Chain A
Amino acid sequence: MGIQFSLMAVVALVLVAFLGVQVAGLNYVFGVIVPYIAIFTFIAGFIYRVIGWARSPVPFRIPTTAGQQHSLPWIKPNKFDNPSTKWGVFVRMALEILVFRSLFRNTKMELHEGPKITYHWEKWLWLAALVFHWSFLVILVRHLRFFTEPVPGLVHTTERVDAFLQLGLPGLYLTDLLFLAAVTYLFIRRVIIPQLRYISLPADYFPLFLFLAIGITGVLMRYFTKVDLLKIKELAIGLVTFHPTAPDGIGVLFYLHLFLVSTLLFYFPFSKLMHLGGVFLSPTRNLPNDSRMVRHVNPWNYPVKTHTYEEYEDHFREKMIEAGLPVEKE
């Protein structure tokens, strides 16, 4: 169900852009207005979601403890999997964000005859996720050549490294292949593992189809059906310098690509893709496990009226002495 619905949604998006540009000739709408709406929604929605999370109190330390806690001096603590300091948390977060350490721990559980439980080494998800995210980053950096003038040296370097095989003209980018391969793997994995398919929703399939469609239109433009790059750069740099133009004769494929990317940006804040911001705000990862070193006060506690024993004794000392009860201070 989810698969058909998501696929139809992406096909419909492609059709909308195709008809809008090819038949109705709405170049300016699809080349300027839609991208502006998309980028505005992306940034405003992203901030709104993050502020929404920031308003939720996290009163106590709830980190996942994946190693020995800091305790007695002769017991070796696991500084990064059960951090007790800010530095430990920083390293843990860096490992999480840059190399997906939690995903690396992934195992596959199976129940056999007996009953007998087994845990398998399962790194393929981690590998595909790593390839997908890093390829995506490289592709984003490479695209800056259309949005900057002059083009920064870092973009050139990224491009050169990515196309270092010097295969064909225009040169083959490795990340183009890796990106499509990784997205395909992530999709197939969802479809053929029964448990995963059972829990998969349209919100899981739709981004995958969207990425696939974006990747395919991009690859088609670069290697097969060519488009006019100069006009594309004119449009792209027009957007970011607020001199928007939609020159004629770019080729409809570019508008499909742009509309799909605009959809992605527009959809981003309302979707699971918000893990881009969420990974930084995961309380199970970004809190030091220092519950036994620091006192954490629940922010919504109301001020409790207390009457300690010292105060009680001050109050009733004379009566207590009269009655022959023991007191701590004479």
Chain B
Amino acid sequence: MKIYNGKPIIIGLIIFVGVALFPVFYNGGKASPPPEIKLDTPVIQQMTEKQCVLPKGEMRTGHMQVLNEWRTEVVRNGHRVYVAADGKQYNMSLQNECMKCHSNKSQFCDACHVYAGLQLGAVPYCWTCHIEPKEPKETK
């Protein structure tokens, strides 16, 4: 088989394969299972009924939209009270309500966000305005 201009074409093909399979070379076959999300904060452990404002599945996929709606309700419409499906009332506040239970930001928020490829400290931009909860050093 005769190939014309073989050298640049083969080099080009090697670059193509390298780029196309970049994630394979980059990870080197190392398995990366998803992180375990820790729900064992003191406040959650004291709860009799361990239930967030929405069912777990909806919170997992839609918490950012809930937070965005809460922001609009509080900042633009001045409503502070959220009534959950079970009639329970919550104060719509990231710092005072969400983080009261989920006080372990680095093992709760960050664990997932980092795995999902969000840039820690930049995306999502919650903590450019809100104050992060203080965590004891050893849990980090």
Contact = CB atoms under 8 A, between A and B. Distances in A.
Interface string B2-40: 111110010011001100111110111111111100000
B65 interface: yes
A94 to B, nearest CB: 14
B68 A168 contact: yes
B116 interface: yes
A227 B61 contact: yes
B123 A299 contact: no
A57 B9 CA distance: 13
A43 B17 contact: yes
Contacts of A202: none
A230 B34 contact: yes
Contact of A226 (B9, B62, B118): B62
B112 interface: yes
B27 A171 contact: no
Contacts of B20: 39, 42-43, 46
A290 interface: no
Contacts, number: 118
B31 A238 contact: yes
A166 B125 contact: yes
Given A47-B13, A241-B27, A233 B117 contact: yes
A277 B62 CA distance: 41
A240 B68 contact: no
Interface residues of A, number: 49
A310 interface: no
A272 B82 CA distance: 54
A275 interface: no
Contacts of B81: none
A243 to B, nearest CB: 4
A111 B61 CA distance: 57
A104 to B, nearest CB: 24
Interface stretch (A2-10, A66-74, A122-130, A155-163): A155-163
B126 to A, nearest CB: 9
Nearest to B20: A43
Nearest to A152: B26
Contact of B116 (A39, A55, A230): A230
A156 B5 CA distance: 38
A319 B119 CA distance: 93
Q: How large is the interface on B (under 10, 10 to 19, 20 to 34, 35 or more residues)?
A: 35 or more
Given A43-B17, A55-B3, A147-B23, A234 B123 contact: no
A145 B60 CA distance: 19
Contact of A281 (B9, B61, B116): B9
A243 B31 contact: yes
Contacts of B98: none
B122 to A, nearest CB: 6
B117 A146 contact: yes
Nearest to B9: A54
Nearest to B34: A230
Nearest to A243: B31
A155 B28 CA distance: 18
B67 interface: yes
A237 B27 CA distance: 8
B123 A163 contact: yes
A151 interface: yes
B1 interface: yes
B13 A50 contact: yes
B64 interface: yes
Interface of A: 39, 42-43, 46-47, 50-51, 54-58, 144-149, 151-152, 155-156, 159-160, 163, 166, 168-171, 226-231, 233-234, 237-238, 240-243, 249, 277, 280-281, 299
30 contacts: A42-B20, A43-B17, A43-B21, A46-B20, A54-B3, A54-B5, A55-B2, A58-B4, A144-B22, A146-B117, A148-B117, A149-B27, A159-B117, A159-B119, A163-B123, A169-B64, A169-B65, A169-B68, A170-B64, A171-B123, A226-B62, A226-B65, A228-B57, A230-B112, A230-B115, A231-B34, A234-B32, A240-B24, A241-B31, A299-B4
Given A170-B124, A241-B32, 12 more contacts: A50-B9, A51-B9, A57-B4, A148-B23, A169-B124, A226-B65, A228-B57, A234-B33, A234-B34, A237-B23, A241-B29, A249-B57
